[in-house]
Amino acid sequence: MNNAQTAPKVTKETKNKIRVDFERTPFWDRVKAKLVNLYTLKKVVWYLFRFLLLLGISYVILFPFFSKISSSFMGREDFVDVTVRLIPKHPTLDTYRAIIKDNNYLTALLNTFILSLTCGLIQTFICCFIAYGFARFKFKGNKLLFLCVIFTMVVPHTTLQLSLFMKFRYFDILNIMKFLGGGVIDAINITGGETSINMINTHWPLYILSFTGLAYKNGLFIFMLRQFFRNLPAELEESACLDGAGVMKTFVSIILPLSVTMMVTVFMFSFCWQWTDKFYTSLFFTTAGEPLLPKIIKIPKSLDTQYAGQSLYTAAINNTSGILIIAPLIVLYLFGQKYIVQGIESSGLTAQ
């Protein structure tokens, strides 16, 4: 600061009062000194760089959605027209109409909704339950069983494809059905004379897998929730216990209300992953089974694709079914994304 060199001027006004005049640096000089330096420059450049980078990656993420949505409104002619890229020249709703009508979209939507909602809810609560058991109670085998959870996460279900199918095609726990013999089973008459239950084409395989915490990525949910429960203060449960609450009561009325954000996160994951799932639905539902969303991805009867723009047109039709599939999820995400971000932030996945 160069103004420090000039000494302040002191004048005596009255007997007991003096007046000190500083030579103050002008306002703009002060602003300049504060802002025009390497430090601020670095900050601004870094800020801009970050912002542009985020913007660019957001574009990369969102562009496929734009292209899909725009192509879904294109008419047949637009796919042979070279000048059409993103904005359709012959906007039409035919593709949507054909898929909704010919491919049983609404029935599939309803079926998938019931399936995903039930699976999502079961998985959320069961995973909370299991994770709480792992996080808060000391017992022999806790660590070993948690390793088993990790193990279920590591073995891909694709590896178990054949045996998963066989398990639920000829469902029988510990050969109980075989042991009871034909008599009891014929009496209740659910299996049609076989010594096992055929669960293919029903929702039961997925419900059973959800109920036992073995469904898709449930190991991850249990892991996340366990870390979250471990970070909750133990005093909560201690005081609940002093007030006379049992374990279940503590869990239901103290722990669960505290973990709503985490539960919403887990629910969103399980619901959406079940919704867009292809592996299990193709494994447990044969072509003769009830219509589910994966089955709507095909060319509708009423659309004629035999022409020059065939490959693009069929791709656009498939993409349109894709949009129809995820449309409800987008709405859900708009409401739930706040919870996902919050939930993960409060999960404290860091605690070892």
Partner 1 sequence: MNLNIDAGKGGKKQKIQVDAPGKKRKRGASLDVKQARAGWLFILPFVLGFVLIYLPIIFKSIQYSFNEIDILVGGGYKLTFVGWKNYSDALFVDTTYVTTLVSGLKQLVLDIPSIVLFSLFVAIILNQKIAGRAAFRAIFFIPVILTTGLIADIDKANTLSSYMESSSGIDDGSGQTSTATEIVSVLDVERLFDNMMVGTEVVEYVVQMVNNIFNIVNRCGVQMLIFLSALQSISPAIYESCSIDGASGWETFWKITLPMVSPQILVNTIYTIIDAFTSSDNQVMTYISQVYEQADGNVLSSAMSWMYFLIVILFIAAVSGILSAFVFYQKRD
The CB-of-32 to partner 1 minimum distance in angstroms stands at 24
**Residue 155 Cβ, how far from partner 1 at the closest point, in Å?**
7
- Closest to partner 1 by CB, 104 vs 152, is 152
3 state DSSP class of 188: helix
The answer to whether 149 and 223 have CB atoms below 8 angstroms apart is yes
Long-range contacts of 312-316 (CB under 8 A, 24+ apart): 312/79, 313/76, 313/79, 315/71, 316/71, 316/72, 316/74, 316/79, 316/95
Burial (0-12, 13-18, 19+ Cβ within 10 Å), 87: exposed
User: Cβ closer to partner 1: 34 or 89?
Assistant: 89
Cβ nearer to partner 1, comparing 107 with 318? 318
Q: Which is nearer to partner 1, 23 or 194 (CB)?
A: 194
In the complex, minimum distance from the CB of residue 31 to partner 1, in angstroms, rounded to a whole number: 22
Among residues 33 and 53, whose Cβ is nearest to partner 1? 53
Q: How far is the CB of 20 from partner 1 (least distance, A)?
A: 33
**Alpha-carbon gap, residue 38 to 15, rounded angstroms:** 49
Min. distance of Cβ 167 from partner 1 in angstroms?
Answer: 5
Q: How far is the CB of 86 from partner 1 (least distance, A)?
A: 6
**What pairs with residue 21 in β-bridges?**
9
Q: Least Å distance between CB 302 and partner 1?
A: 21
b/e string for 142-174 if b means 16 or more Cβ within 10 A? Answer: eeeebeebeebeeeebeeeeeebeebbeebeee
Supply 36's token pair.
Answer: 């025009």
**Cα 230 from chain centre:** 23
- Specify the residue for token string 């723009």: 309
Question: Closer CB to partner 1, residue 18 or residue 351?
Answer: 351
- For partner 1, the closer CB: 25 or 76: 76
Q: Tokens for 33?
A: 């000194």
Q: Look up tokens 């887990």; give the residue.
A: 266
What the block records as the tokens of 150 is: 């990790």
